[in-house]
Amino acid sequence: MKWIRDKWAPNGAAINVNVVKQLESYHSKFQKIDVYETANLGKMLLLDDIIMLTEYDEFAYHEMIAHPSLHVHPKVNKVLVIGGGDGGTVREILKHSDIREVHVCEIDEEVISVCKKHFPTLSSGFDNPKVKIFFEDGAVFVKERKNEYDLIIVDSSDPIGPAQVLFQEQFYRNMFDSLKYDGITVTQSEGMFFGREIIRKLFTFNRNIFPILYYYFTMVPTYPSGTIGFSFCSKKHHPVNDIYTKKGITTRYYTPDIHKASFILPKFMEDIV
């Protein structure tokens, strides 16, 4: 029996996963990439020894980074996904028939390649004609595009290595400029228990950028704290008051009630955000 320990362990917490065999292990230009077959959680992807996803519970993350904003903005035609190389976020976005174009800006081409090979149920959306992939630095990419997107989703890894810049104030200011007049940005913003200082920093500067700013969360048991959260940064639309009911979209985690409940925070988080 072999156990893999997630290296991202703020406050000393971590998770161990029982694995059967290693399917991939190599270094790309940007990071170390590993894929394992686990004993009970299906295949698992790690970047720089940090768990990105398992097939067992990835839907709880990908549905909740995508669907809340897509059920709030009344007319999302053009979306930018920064990061998201596993394809799960794109898969969820494409469930909405009004989407006309999805740009994916992933810095590491190897992440998409390995996920196409080992995670076809996540990465199948990359072949959709609505999707265009750019292998570029997301921070530079968004800086060069003004007033272009209805929605920007930052599906990033943790704030170490190549993702560090995606947690900086200037990046959020550039995203604000890249959104249309009523645009929304949703960003991976760490779990509320072990990521408090990161969240505090994000909300300190984002209060001066976006007129509507909220934190919400989902449950993902294979992340160290069991939760992961998102910043909902909006120019116009409120994340709870402006929900539009859409029919014909199949989900396993997201519901309108879960949507509303995910924005209800414990007292310690209310004090931070």
Please state which of the ranges 59-63, 160-164, 203-207 shows the lowest mean pLDDT: 160-164
- Strand ranges of the sheet holding 32-38, from the earlier edge strand across to the other edge: 2-5, 16-27, 32-38, 43-47, 50-54
Q: Evaluate if residue 160 carries a pLDDT over 90.
A: no
d(CA 99, CA 93): 8
Residues identified as active-site: 155
Query: Predicted confidence band at 58 (pLDDT cuts at 50, 70, 90)?
Result: very high
Closest CA to 30 of 104, 144, 124, 138: 138
* Stretch among 49-63, 79-93, 161-175 having the lowest mean pLDDT: 161-175
Q: Please give the domain boundaries of the chain with CATH numbers for all domains.
A: 2-54 (2.30.140.10), 58-272 (3.40.50.150)
Reply yes or no on whether the pLDDT at 8 is more than 70. Answer: no
Greater confidence (272 vs 5) lies with 272
What's the pLDDT at 14? Answer: 77
Q: What is the pTM of this model?
A: 0.96
Percentage of the chain beyond pLDDT 90 is 84
Is residue 106's pLDDT more than 70? yes
